[in-house]
Chain A
Amino acid sequence: MPQISPNAMVEKSAELADDVRVGPFAYIGPAVRIGPGCVIDTGASILGRTTLGAKCHVFPFTVIGADAGQTGNGECFIGQANSFREHVTICAGLKAPTRIGDDNLIMIGCQIGPAAVIGDHCILTNSTQIEGRSQIDDYVGTSAFTYVSAGVRVGSYTYIAGYTGVEDHAPPFAMVQGCPARVRGVNSNKLRRCGFGDDDIRALKEAFRDLFNGAADAADPQVLRRMEADASLNPHVRRVVEALRERVGEDSRK
């Protein structure tokens, strides 16, 4: 039997796994499914058609699955072992679901918009604002007061510095900073911690130096073309080039 505080409100049709704990004054909506080992703390609300994977911890006053129209039809798919700290808001998507992967740490006061897609192992620091339809890949780190604009993709292993407004796609493996955001270098500490070799990191550093040449707003198209043609390109650098190509392609369509 789930351990539900007598002061909590759990709708009858909600599906809770056997060892779920629900704290006082929490609310679990009628179309919610909660996996084994989850802890829902005081005053948290889980709304809409939300599915929570195993071992998620929802801290006090967090709201998951809110939708602006209060229709209760928004969808939210959340993976395993995520930690949602105090006062987090995860909006549910009405046209497409909001998706959050596994093993993320979403800190106090973060807000994630409708239909956003978050990968695995991300750490979103306090007050990070992710707008709707944006995509955050795996192992992304953000710092305080980061803002990611709607429909923007942030590549994996990228770190976004504090107070940064990301308004265009950020490539993978990068350190991004400023308003508007610029690529400032390679997130080498994170890469080293995640087991990347020195050669790969060096290749990425050289590629970023060539592409962005200090603090340019966008990648140099000539260098991009040269790198694309290079058959012996480091596979990680190729990922960067592909991500940038995607962005350049979008720009040319405008």
Chain B
Amino acid sequence: MTGLAVIREIAPSARVANDAVIGSFCVVGPHVTIGPGTVLIRRVVVLGHTTIGSANIVEEGCVLGAEPQDLKYGGSPTLLIIGHRNRFGPRVTAHIGTEDGGCLTRIGNDNLLSDGCHIAHDCYVEDKVHLGRNVLLAGHVLVETGAVVGDLAGAHHFTTIGRYARVGPRTPVRRDVPPFTHFYSQDHERIPPAVRGVHQEGIAAAGLAVAEEAELRKALKELFDDETALQTKIEQLVSMGVEGSALALCEFCQRSLQGVYGRYRELLRGQPPPEAAKFMPPQEQVNIRRPSS
């Protein structure tokens, strides 16, 4: 520590753990909770009803908990809940939820969000996710555990990026990305965005049992070597009695097919997603209601 005075503004009603470090030029709003060991390095703004867990590192220029960029947001005190041991690179922005989307934006544990990432309203980022630089997640996006998203990729509203999937750099994600796949595009037209292979490192990182891994690889090959007649192939695989990750893959693809333009979560439009209840305290669910008009 240098001898310079730390200039910062922490609202008196903010709940900040004793060993949390709030650096110079940080602003912490009145309804914010910051857990032990979390470090806000410098020039970090935390607003809204935001809860940050323990041992997170938040770098310069981050703005967490600002109001959503959504015209239907009615101004309710919705939530942003961040778990533990995440690292936020410089200029990351994350917004609170909207009333129609379940009132909650959730970032899990052990994630790495690189420079300039944007986590929009009602997104769910699970655990061990790596978002590259300037990745933009639109509203209501679900990024499942272990997904890796390349620099400058953008996810459309209501898309899901599956477990341990990989999205290539500068790739527009307009439909769900199945688990354990490698999804990329180049120049958007020459090689349009699609599943282009298996994410080998993802399968390794998931630490599956040998039999399960073999079954998963078989299912991935069966489904995505040639992506025609996906519905029939899913049915075949399920009737063959696949289990574990392979079954989860089939179910994921089945849900995406049922959705709108390959986006399952479009079906959840206007209602809280199933994940919301898991993370939101029941009293908050009662309190946050859109004023009836």
Which A residues lie at the B interface, using CB under 8 A? 5, 7, 23-25, 41-43, 59-61, 85-87, 105, 107-109, 126-127, 144-145, 162-163, 178-179
Contact = CB atoms under 8 A, between A and B. Distances in A.
A105 B69 CA distance: 8
A61 B61 contact: yes
Mostly helix, strand, loop or mixed at chain A's interface? loop
Contacts of B170: 163
A25 B44 CA distance: 11
Contacts of A127: 134, 136
Given A59-B66, A61-B61, 13 more contacts: A24-B9, A24-B27, A25-B25, A25-B43, A61-B63, A86-B63, A109-B91, A126-B69, A126-B136, A145-B152, A145-B154, A163-B170, A179-B188
Nearest to B60: A61
A126 B118 contact: yes
The residue among B7, B27, B152 with the most chain A CB atoms within 10 A of its own CB is B27
Contacts of B27: 23-25, 42, 60
Nearest to A61: B61
Nearest to B29: A42
A210 B7 CA distance: 63
Is chain B's interface secondary structure helix, strand, loop, or mixed overall? loop
B245 to A, nearest CB: 31
B253 interface: no
* Residue of B93, B116, B170, B187 with most partner-chain A CB within 10 A: B93
A108 B93 contact: yes
Interface of B: 7, 9, 25, 27, 43, 45, 61, 63, 66, 69, 71, 91, 93, 116, 118, 134, 136, 138, 152, 154, 170, 172, 187-189
Nearest to B71: A105
A130 B134 CA distance: 18
Contacts of B71: 105
B172 A7 contact: no
Contacts of B63: 59-61, 86-87
A60 B60 CA distance: 12
B154 A163 contact: yes
Contact of B154 (A43, A107, A162): A162
A43 B45 contact: yes
